[in-house]
Amino acid sequence: MPSEFQAPANVTLRPPVASLGPLGWLRANLFNSWPNTILTLLAVWLIVRVVPPVFNWAILDAVTGQQSAAACRAPGAGACWSFLSEKWRFILFGLYPPDQHWRPALVVLLIVTMLIVSCDRRLWGWALAAIWLTGLAVVFLLMAGGIFGLPYVDDTRWGGLPLTLIISVVGMVLGFPIAVALALGRRSELPVVRALCIGFIELVRGVPLISVLFMASVMIPLFLPRDVTIDKLLRAEVGYALFFSAYLAEAIRGGLQAIPRGQYEAADSLGLTYWQKTSKIILPQALKLVIAPMVNNFIGQFKDTSLVIIIGIFDLMMTAKTALSDPAWLGFYKEAYLFIAVIYFGFCFFMSRYSLWLERHLHRGQRR
Amino acid sequence: MSIVTESIAGSAEGSADMVQLIDMHKWYGEFHVLKGINMTVSRGERIVICGPSGSGKSTLIRCINRLEEHQQGQIIVDGNELTGNLKQIDKVRSEVGMVFQAFNLFPHLTVLENCTLAPIWVRKIPRREAEATAMKYLERVRIPDQAHKYPGQLSGGQQQRVAIARSLCMTPRIMLFDEPTSALDPEMIKEVLDVMVSLAQEGMTMICVTHEMGFARTVANRVIFMDRGEIVEQNNPIEFFNNPRSERTKAFLSQVLQH
Ligand SMILES: Nc1ncnc2c1ncn2[C@@H]1O[C@H](COP(=O)(O)OP(=O)(O)OP(=O)(O)O)[C@@H](O)[C@H]1O
Ligand SMILES: [Mg+2]
């Protein structure tokens, strides 16, 4: 009798297939308990209340094509996409000379490409650093011009999405090595180094970004000789990179603390120098542990570029606001902010999905 | 082979002593862990250190490659005295292999990379050559087929053998072992001890903290018994096990040998 229940040794059994059917699925997932049933009904009610009006506004009643503001102000008119048709180039590229818009467009493409290329782990290391440094040099050549027959464009005329991306990406490229140095310095055995790093980190974390930006734009010139002027964008960029390096340093320190003492001792016992030990053993493991908090930092940092508006730099947020102040097109806030929100969201969502994928990918085959 | 290394080393420093500890003291804060250790290890000698938990065995051998700093007395390893001089410390460390109780392999590197890292970066050996050497030592510890796995994919015994191979790749002049088998399941202890015995038979200078008394009997030239930060007794294994002189040694042996 018992032999009936034994599967032949060479047959692998498949898991049983659940055959619920749509009704069964509904019952199992949406109505399996009282609280769940209430939540389901609430969700349905919300969808019924929200989706049709939004649909009407955005699509059915929307004003599209090259129409005037008057058409958008007609009673019963929905979203004014004509506003975006009119203004999208200004919002994306700001005051950059319109006949040269291909340059910032190419810059955006280049930065996005570099971001995607950076996702390939085989390039991590010096190759990636080289890609970014040359990439950023090309970005500046394209934006500023004055060489290879490209007309010169002063950085006071840069604006919109390329500027937002440049501020953010340069902030990451400058801020990351500073953050690593700060995190290492904070754990240094040299008291002076340690005190300096702790002092810097705590000082920066104790003030809001806005005040750092103000200091960078207003106070730094006070300390410089009268005939020396540093570009406003550069000042903002340095303040911004330093600000984020302090936060990033704390995230990285968390990773450093999680590395067991045995790893340091094994590296020491092989005769590795401090820098060999740090770069080959400690940092690779520590950074891997803190990918999620680091990406979290990058996302916050990307969105906080919008604060440079207060020192009069023409980022994406500022161009949208300026587009809104055109007397002919006053009042189309929803359309303008929705437009830039979609752009911000696209970048942040990409970063967040990538970090999730990376975490799963990195831990594969490396259980401890 | 051994004649060659001996003649080179002999001409370099003119002394047969690999390790010399002279009245060495160490404190952890106020706590006096090692109280005047005097000890000499000659080239090719195999020392087993035993003693109750907390007697300072780990601290002693960790001082020999400066994982711990001593505060008084002298430690001389292959003619180099350990002082605050960092260059000197790195030099000594690259000549001294160490195997830990917890293996301490680098989990983000493959077995082969674990073995080639230090030869490539410390010894500046070309990668291909380092890999060939590493494969040779992985064969000696009988796991060449695992070379491209990560440490986390190996059993404890396999990991410890990789750790031994990793040390050997630096062609150390002396190997330190700190309870290399006490984190292992019984069936894996033998595979690690076998590797250590074969190392001993090839003339490697070894200092080994262990409670494997069978290993001490067959391999050691000398067994050192420590208690409360002092060397209480040392002798060849036959005398040590058959005629222990001090009461503390007798008490310790009766406990250890019961199992
Ligand atoms: N980092 C440290 N700070 C303070 N005290 C320490 C430190 N490391 C070890 N000790 C103390 O020094 C003494 C000797 O420790 P050690 O690890 O050398 O003992 P051991 O002989 O190796 O013991 P075991 O057999 O348990 O490994 C112990 O009392 C321990 O509590
Ligand atoms: Mg110990």
Query: What is the predicted pLDDT for the residue at A319?
Result: 83
What is chain B's length? Answer: 259
**């005329």: which residue's tokens?**
A157
If you take atom 1 of ligand 1, which residue's CA is the nearest one? B28
DSSP B243: S
For chain A, what are the domain ranges? 81-366
* Record: contact B106-A265, CB cut-off 8 A: no
A2-20 mean pLDDT:
63
ipTM: 0.90
CA–CA dist B213, B244 (Å, integer)? 14
Q: Bridge partners of B72?
A: B25
Mutate which of B30, B49, B53, B59 for ligand 1 pocket (most atoms within 8 A of beta carbon): B59
> Where is mean pLDDT largest: A31-35, A94-98, B76-80, B96-100?
B96-100
Closest-CA residue of chain A to B111: A366
A344 pLDDT band, cuts 50/70/90, is: confident
Residue B245 CA, ligand 2 centroid: distance in Å: 24
Pairing of strands B205-209, B222-227: unpaired
Query: What is the predicted pLDDT for the residue at B175?
Result: 94
CATH 1.10.3720.10 for domain A81-366: yes
Closest-CA residue of chain A to B119: A270
- H/E/C letters for each residue in chain A? CHHHHCCCCCCCCCCCCCCCHHHHHHHHHCCCCHHHHHHHHHHHHHHHHHHHHHHHHHHHCCECCCCCHHHHHCCCCCCEHHHHHHHHHHHHHCCCCHHHCHHHHHHHHHHHHHHHHHCCHHHCCHHHHHHHHHHHHHHHHHHHCCCCCCCCCCHHHCCHHHHHHHHHHHHHHHHHHHHHHHHHHHCCCCHHHHHHHHHHHHHHHCCCHHHHHHHHHHHHHHHCCCCCCCCHHHHHHHHHHHHHHHHHHHHHHHHHHCCCHHHHHHHHHCCCCHHHHHHHHHHHHHHHHCHHHHHHHHHHHHHHHHHHHHHCCCEHHHHHHHHHCCHHHCCCHHHHHHHHHHHHHHHHHHHHHHHHHHHHHHCCCCCC
Query: What is the predicted pLDDT for the residue at B224?
Result: 94
If you take atom 7 of ligand 1, which residue's CA is the nearest one? B28
pLDDT of residue A333 exceeding 50: yes
Cβ–Cβ contact B118 with A under 8 A: yes
Alpha-carbon distance values, A186 to A272, B61, B248 (Å): 21, 30, 46
> Where is mean pLDDT largest: A99-108, A342-351, B122-131?
B122-131
Q: How distant is the Cα of A185 from the closest Cα of chain B, in angstroms? A: 19
List CB contacts (< 8 A) between B61 and chain A.
none
Residue B58 CA, ligand 1 centroid: distance in Å: 7
Q: How distant is the Cα of B126 from the closest Cα of chain A, in angstroms? A: 17
Ligand 1 atom closest to Cα of B52? 25
Cβ–Cβ contact A89 with B under 8 A: no
Which residues surround ligand 1 with Cβ inside 6 Å? B 28, 31, 33, 51, 53-59
pLDDT in tens, B245-257: 999 999 998 888 7
Ligand 1 atom closest to Cα of B59? 18
Query: What is the predicted pLDDT for the residue at A7?
Result: 52
List CB contacts (< 8 A) between A259 and chain B.
none
* Strand locations in B139-221 (E): 174-178, 205-209
Helix boundaries (H) for B101-175: 111-121, 127-140, 156-168
pLDDT in tens, A299-322: 888 888 888 777 777 888 888 888
For residue B93 the two structure tokens come to 């460390």
If you take atom 17 of ligand 1, which residue's CA is the nearest one? B58
* Record: contact B166-A366, CB cut-off 8 A: no
If you take atom 3 of ligand 1, which residue's CA is the nearest one? B28
Query: What is the predicted pLDDT for the residue at A26?
Result: 80
List CB contacts (< 8 A) between A367 and chain B.
152-153
Residues in the 5 Å CB sphere of ion ligand 2: B 58
For residue A214 the two structure tokens come to 């103000």
pLDDT in tens, A161-220: 888 888 888 888 889 999 999 999 998 888 999 999 999 999 988 888 888 888 877 777
Interface test with B, best of A270, A290, A362, A366 (most B CBs within 10 A): A270
Closest-CA residue of chain B to A275: B121
If you take atom 2 of ligand 1, which residue's CA is the nearest one? B28
Percent of chain A whose predicted confidence (pLDDT) is above 90: 19
pLDDT of residue B13 exceeding 50: no
pLDDT in tens, B117-164: 999 999 999 999 999 999 999 999 998 999 999 999 999 999 999 999
pLDDT in tens, A38-78: 998 999 999 998 888 888 787 777 777 777 777 777 777 77
* Record: contact A284-B67, CB cut-off 8 A: no
Cβ–Cβ contact A124 with B under 8 A: no
Instruction: Give the residue from A267, A253, A211, A213 showing the smallest Cα distance to A236.
Output: A213
- Total-model pTM: 0.81
Interface test with A, best of B93, B125, B160, B169 (most A CBs within 10 A): B93
Higher pLDDT among residues B255 and A331, named by residue:
B255
Interface test with A, best of B78, B117, B124, B177 (most A CBs within 10 A): B117
For residue A204 the two structure tokens come to 């920066």
Cβ–Cβ contact B93 with A under 8 A: yes
Q: How distant is the Cα of B143 from the closest Cα of chain A, in angstroms? A: 18
Residue B96 CA, ligand 1 centroid: distance in Å: 21
What value, to the nearest 5°, has the Cα angle with vertex A90 and ends A317 and A232? 55
* Record: contact A269-B106, CB cut-off 8 A: no
**Residue among B91, B104, B167 whose CB faces A265 most closely:** B104
Closest-CA residue of chain A to B90: A271
- Please give the interface size between A and B, counted as residue pairs whose CB atoms are below 8 Å apart: 71
A276 pLDDT band, cuts 50/70/90, is: very high
Angle between helices A191-205 and A160-186 (to 10 degrees): 140
